[in-house]
């Protein structure tokens, strides 16, 4: 299925986006690398069999407006709120990859009534988001790879611990495949597309049923240990 590209004015900006499929809306947000656009989600387009996919180019990316400085995740979340209003979206599920996950988290924190569920694929986050996530009571699927050197696995546990209604799925190492390396292993929507697609489909079909709460004690203790390690090391990155 080839998505249809459209354009909408959002405040002073032009936002390019693609749509595909039908059903309940699913917003997919790409990461921060300069060349990224909605097309990073092409491997997951089969999700359009059951959902209406809406894939925007974030500001500073793709065919959307390119301000002198790319807006930060908070400004991107505000843009996304206005974008959703323009499209008449009352409530949507969100999928965010890398920095797009950080934008999705901010959107859900600021406008929780506009979000039904979240999928975070090797998501980055801002340190000050973690304590706020304790109040985020949205079903959330968190997907990481074991060997990711950009968005490291310990951060998946930190997000899992911060979001009580979440489930962490850890995929096999990516760099074992000679075609990929550690720097690319966070792009799971491309390099682990079949697993990410299957997990996301299962989750969206029954978000609450896929969330284990409280987590198993072994994982809980591991998460606490990683959190202490993170607090000792200092702040986490802000972009992927």
For residue 47, which of 81, 20, 15, 11 has the smallest C-alpha distance? 20
**Contact of 145 with 170, CB cutoff 8 Å:** yes
Host H or E run for residue 19: strand 13-21
Measured distance between the N- and C-terminal CA atoms of the chain, rounded to whole angstroms: 29
Q: Domain total for the chain?
A: 1
Residue 19 domain-assigned?
A: yes
**CATH number, domain containing residue 166:** 3.40.50.1820
Residue 238 domain-assigned?
A: no
Per-residue pLDDT of the chain (240 residues; tens, 9 = 90+): 689 999 999 999 999 999 999 999 999 999 998 889 999 999 999 999 999 999 999 999 999 999 999 999 999 999 999 999 999 999 999 999 999 999 999 999 999 999 999 999 999 999 999 999 999 999 999 999 888 777 888 999 999 999 999 999 999 887 666 666 655 556 888 888 999 999 999 999 999 888 865 444 445 444 444 554 555 454 444 444
Whole-number pLDDT of residue 13: 96
Tokens 């591991």 — which residue?
A: 222
Residue 215 domain-assigned?
A: yes
Whole-number pLDDT of residue 186: 64
Whole-number pLDDT of residue 172: 82
Residue 172 domain-assigned?
A: yes
CA separation for the pair 31, 95 (Å, rounded): 11
**Contact of 227 with 161, CB cutoff 8 Å:** yes
CA separation for the pair 61, 83 (Å, rounded): 15
92-97 and 24-29 as β-strands: parallel, antiparallel, unpaired? parallel
Structural domain of 225? 4-233
Residue 86 domain-assigned?
A: yes
| pLDDT tens by residue, 194-216 | 999 999 999 999 998 888 654 44
Whole-number pLDDT of residue 174: 73
Could you tell me the strand order of the sheet in which 24-29 lies?
A: 4-10, 13-21, 51-56, 24-29, 92-97, 115-121, 140-145, 166-171
Residue 164 domain-assigned?
A: yes
The distance of Cα 220 from the centroid of its chain, to the nearest Å, equals 22
Residue 109 domain-assigned?
A: yes
Residue 240 domain-assigned?
A: no
Q: How distant, in Å, are the alpha carbons of 36, 71, 119, 169, 171 from that of 203?
A: 25, 31, 9, 11, 16
Tokens describing residue 229: 């390690």
**Contact of 193 with 46, CB cutoff 8 Å:** no
């Amino acid at each position: 299925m080839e998505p249809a590209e459209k354009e909408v004015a959002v405040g002073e900006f032009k936002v390019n986006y693609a749509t595909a499929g039908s059903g309940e809306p699913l917003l997919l947000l790409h990461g921060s690398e300069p060349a990224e656009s909605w097309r990073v989600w092409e491997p997951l387009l089969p999700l359009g069999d059951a959902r209406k996919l809406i894939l925007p180019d974030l500001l500073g990316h793709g065919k959307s407006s390119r301000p002198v400085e790319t807006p930060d995740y908070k400004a991107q979340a505000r843009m996304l709120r206005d974008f959703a209003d323009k499209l008449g979206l009352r409530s949507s599920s969100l999928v965010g990859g890398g920095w797009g996950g950080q934008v999705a988290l901010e959107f859900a924190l600021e406008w929780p009534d506009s979000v039904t569920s979240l999928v975070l694929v090797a998501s980055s986050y801002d340190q000050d988001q973690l304590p706020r996530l304790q109040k985020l009571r949205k079903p959330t699927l968190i997907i990481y790879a074991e060997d990711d050197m950009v968005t490291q696995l310990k951060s998946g546990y930190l997000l899992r611990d911060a979001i009580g209604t979440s489930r962490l799925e850890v995929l096999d190492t990516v760099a074992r495949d000679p075609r990929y390396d550690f720097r690319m292993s966070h792009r799971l929507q491309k390099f682990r597309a079949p697993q990410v697609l299957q997990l996301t489909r299962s989750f969206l079909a029954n978000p609450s049923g896929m969330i284990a709460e409280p987590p198993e004690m072994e994982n809980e203790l591991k998460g606490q240990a990683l959190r202490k390690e993170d607090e000792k090391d200092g702040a986490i990155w802000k972009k992927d």
